Chain A
């Protein structure tokens, strides 16, 4: 593994189904993030984690949950998917020290909820 991986690459999901998007990084970054990207709205933060064992809510957390059991993994769960959750989801990670803390992005998951 080099950098950040996400799975699946794409998924079509029936409304009401449960879905977990996976994210794994091998850079030993403390912080990890989940964004959704919708046309015209840019990247919006869903949830974040500054270190293993802690999580926080971003700008659009409703309908999503996360966990951070270890440094490397940061899964995002949709408990009961709705069509408005159709989007491209990006996972990112960064260090937490200093002013300059570039976020590195995974390749993304394209999710369609019907």
Chain B
């Protein structure tokens, strides 16, 4: 079973706040986890990846992975209106080669 779940949103946060996006996955043997951002009418672009338990920070973005609980999250600090987009969680699952399983995405709206 290769399921990746996300709240579809929309998630609305005020400018300057922290946005928290969550993703759960069903395959306990999953190896790598990716967060993509997709603006309306555009293609997905990678913003973060993580494969070890704990936190990984890159600028205003922090990815958090908890393999025991099978969830991965993305925190966006000091949210800006330009962060308004759909955020896709992608998981490289066991026994699926190089392929990813994508979640349905969470739509984030940052209000000025």
Cross-chain contact B103 with A102 (CB below 8 angstroms): no
Cross-chain contact B88 with A107 (CB below 8 angstroms): no
A100 to B90, CA, bound (A): 12
Cross-chain contact B44 with A43 (CB below 8 angstroms): yes
* Residue A40 lies at the interface, judged by CB distance under 8 Å to chain B: yes
- One digit per residue, 1 when the CB lies within 8 angstroms of any chain A CB and 0 when it does not, for chain B 71-106 equals 000000000000000001010100001111111110
* Residue B31 lies at the interface, judged by CB distance under 8 Å to chain A: yes
> How many residues of chain A get a CB closer than 8 Å to chain B's CBs?
26
Which residues 16-48 of B sit at the A interface, judged by CB distance below 8 A?
Answer: 31-32, 34, 42-46
B contact residues vs A (CB 8 Å cutoff): 8, 31-32, 34, 42-46, 49, 51, 88, 90, 92, 97-105
Q: Give 22 pairs: A residue, B residue, CB < 8 Å, sorted on A.
A: A31-B98, A35-B102, A40-B8, A41-B104, A42-B88, A42-B102, A42-B103, A44-B102, A45-B101, A90-B43, A90-B44, A99-B32, A99-B92, A100-B49, A102-B34, A103-B34, A103-B46, A105-B45, A106-B43, A107-B42, A107-B43, A108-B42
